[in-house]
Amino acid sequence: MVTISIDGIRTVVPEGTTVLEAARDLGIAIPSLCHNPGLSPYGACRVCIVEVKKGERSTIEASCTLPASDGLVVITNSERVRKNRKVLIELLVSSCPTSKTLQDLAANYGVNRIRFAIKDKNCILCGLCVRYCKEQMQSGGIGFVGRGTSRKVATAFGVTPQECRNCGGCEWICPVCERACTAANLTNGLCGGCQNLMHVETCELCVHCSESVNARGHRVY
């Protein structure tokens, strides 16, 4: 067992626990995108960042890949974390504005403008689908190809591979495919529909029923 401190709370967790898991056990909310409890840690989206105090200095680390170690002092919601995270979310939305998951994240974390050029790639390269396919389905039908900005998820030779079991897991787990933002026109890449405008035309108070429609006519899930 190791003892760590998260936002001033001392907690004892088994060795091998990540800081993200330890924080969530304490009920502390840390957003995450590329993390899934059923898959191996990956550390690509960086929204789960926390600040780790090292004496006078501190560093920013992704909590989903950071193992709890004795004496670790973590702050999950410092000024520095918030500032960094906001820019990360801006970058996420600018590269994939059509994901409702990302639009919600932007709304929740107070991102109200995107200062970067919008280049919709329809994928945030979180690798959930790739890991799901490999680790849960033991298939490995999809993988990453290319480097840098040309990196993308693909199958070999662009055809459905033999290994594919048609489970649909890749779509189900995808933060872009499964929860697409259907807003007709984004302002500066931002929608803000569902989270920011909870007033619904048909009902006085939205109860989040599956039929709810918000002011802009989006379905609220």
Helix, strand and coil in the chain, % to nearest 5: 25, 20, 55
Q: Please provide the DSSP assignment of 44-75 as one string.
A: -S-TTEEEEEETTEEEEEETTS-B--TT-EEE
Which listed range, 7-15, 85-93, 108-116, 127-135, lies at the site for ligand SF4 (CB under 6 A)?
A: 127-135
- Binding-site member from 19, 45, 93, 190 for ligand FES (CB under 6 A): 45
- Binding-site member from 11, 43, 80, 91 for ligand FES (CB under 6 A): 43
- Binding-site member from 4, 13, 35, 181 for ligand FES (CB under 6 A): 35
- Binding-site member from 17, 21, 35, 46 for other proteins (CB under 8 A): 46
Structure token pair of residue 176:
């872009």
Helix (H, G, I), strand (E, B) or coil at 118: coil
**Measured between alpha carbons, how far is 95 from 74 in angstroms, rounded to an integer?**
30
**Ramachandran sector of residue 142 (left: φ over 0; alpha: ψ -120 to 50; beta: rest):** beta
- Binding-site member from 36, 94, 98, 99 for other proteins (CB under 8 A): 94
Beta strands in the chain (DSSP E): 2-6, 9-13, 49-54, 57-62, 73-75, 142-145, 152-155
Neighbours of 143 (CB within 10 A): 15
> Residue 152 or 165: which CB sits closer to other proteins?
152
50 is a site residue for ligand FES (CB under 6 A): no
Distance of CA 219 to the CA centre of its chain: 21
148 is a site residue for other proteins (CB under 8 A): yes
60 is a site residue for other proteins (CB under 8 A): yes
Residue 182 to residues 106, 177, 191, 212: CA-CA distances in angstroms? 16, 11, 9, 14
Q: Which does 153 bind (CB under 5 to 8 A by kind): ligand SF4, other proteins, ligand FES, none?
A: ligand SF4
Q: Which does 35 bind (CB under 5 to 8 A by kind): ligand SF4, other proteins, ligand FES, none?
A: ligand FES
Q: Which of residues 100-139 bind other proteins (CB under 8 A)?
A: 115-117, 119, 124-125, 127
> Residue 83 or 208: which CB sits closer to other proteins?
83
Q: Which does 140 bind (CB under 5 to 8 A by kind): ligand FES, ligand SF4, other proteins, none?
A: none
Interacting residues with other proteins (CB under 8 A)? 41, 43-46, 49, 59-62, 65-67, 80, 83-84, 87-88, 91-92, 94-95, 115-117, 119, 124-125, 127, 144, 146-151
